[in-house]
Amino acid sequence: MRVLITGAGGQLGSALQRTAPDWAEISAIDVEDCDLTDAPMLTARLVVEAPEVILNAAAYTAVDRAESDEATARAINADAVGVMVEAMASTGGRVVHVSTDYVFDGLSPVAYRPEDERNPQSAYGRTKAEGEDRLRPEDLLVRTAWVYAAGGANFVRTMIRLMNERDALGVVADQIGSPTWATGLARTIWGLVEKGATGTFHHADDGAISWHDFAVAIAEEAHALGLVKRIPVINPLTTADYPTPAKRPAFSLLDCSKTRALLGDRAVPWRENLRLMLEEEASLG
């Protein structure tokens, strides 16, 4: 099966390439290969690649910058998805699109199910929801949250850097969700593709924590591996203490039971995957 991966140089795009099954004939593109804001260029590239499946791991993910640059965010997160869908409709292929917890408002008392009503509260969330709306019933939508990977630009690696620079730092403690190791997400996506899944599915690692909880665990696990010289004081902050241009969901836990039932695998605890990622990070030197 000919599979095109977009966003090839990102955390998920890289993980999708590393975990690709033998049956997938992979081609991969990133921003230097094709400007997703240029619809004619993207269309032409899709004609050349002629994929049977597009795994769209590309996204405008600068959440705060999107508040003042919503047009560019929309071009990448929504309009480019429409171009991909149109191209696949003409060839009989399908799009696998990755979206985000930011399409929800964060007010739910329980984990969000795939079919729950969306109500994005930021430009990033709005443009990602618009991208979801471009998909057809025969396409596949996978929502995720708090993605991180060894070697990438993410919360885990930022925390390690700050912990090695400071004796104390503050981290928001009133936003709840679950982290997602990009490798685990990639494996789930390949599993869903192999099953021929269509519609909407969720994937995140198992457990409900705050960013503060996550930071404390990162400190403990990274220190044990020698990635952090000493564990600093990690003070809990409120969202009000740390204002940002974009509003973050206060609660963005994703219900992944539908995904786990279809794939017949277990929900991996977030700390277990954090440890695996940090071991990989340590091996990178």
Which sign does the torsion angle of CA 213, 259, 136, 114 carry? negative
pTM here is 0.97
Q: Are strands 209-210 and 176-177 parallel, antiparallel or unpaired?
A: antiparallel
The pair of structure tokens assigned to 222 is 């990274």
Q: Are 81 and 131 in contact (CB under 8 A)?
A: yes
- Mention every residue, 6+ apart, whose C-beta is less than 8 A from residue 245: 64, 65, 67, 68
pLDDT in tens, 89-112: 999 999 999 999 999 999 999 999
pLDDT in tens, 138-176: 999 999 999 999 998 999 999 999 999 999 999 999 999
206 has a pLDDT exceeding 80: yes
285 has a pLDDT exceeding 90: no
Residue whose entry in the numeric block shows the structure tokens 């990755």: 98
Half-sphere exposure of 222 (CA within 13 A, CB side): 24
> Which domains are seen in the chain, by residue range?
2-153+179-207+252-268 (3.40.50.720)
List, by residue number, the catalytic residues: 124
Query: Cβ-count burial of 155 within 10 angstroms (0-12 exposed, 13-18 middle, 19+ buried)?
Result: middle
Q: Give the pLDDT score at 256.
A: 98
Flag the least confident range among 131-135, 175-179, 281-285. Answer: 281-285
pLDDT in tens, 222-254: 999 999 999 999 999 999 999 999 999 999 999
pLDDT in tens, 249-271: 999 999 999 999 999 999 999 99
What is the rounded distance in angstroms from the CA atom of residue 202 to the CA atom of residue 182?
14
The pair of structure tokens assigned to 224 is 């044990």
pLDDT in tens, 27-77: 999 999 999 999 999 999 999 999 999 999 999 999 999 999 999 999 999
What average pLDDT does the segment 270-275 reach? Answer: 98
What is the rounded distance in angstroms from the CA atom of residue 76 to the CA atom of residue 33?
14
- Which alpha helices (DSSP H) does 196-264 contain, by range? 211-224, 257-263
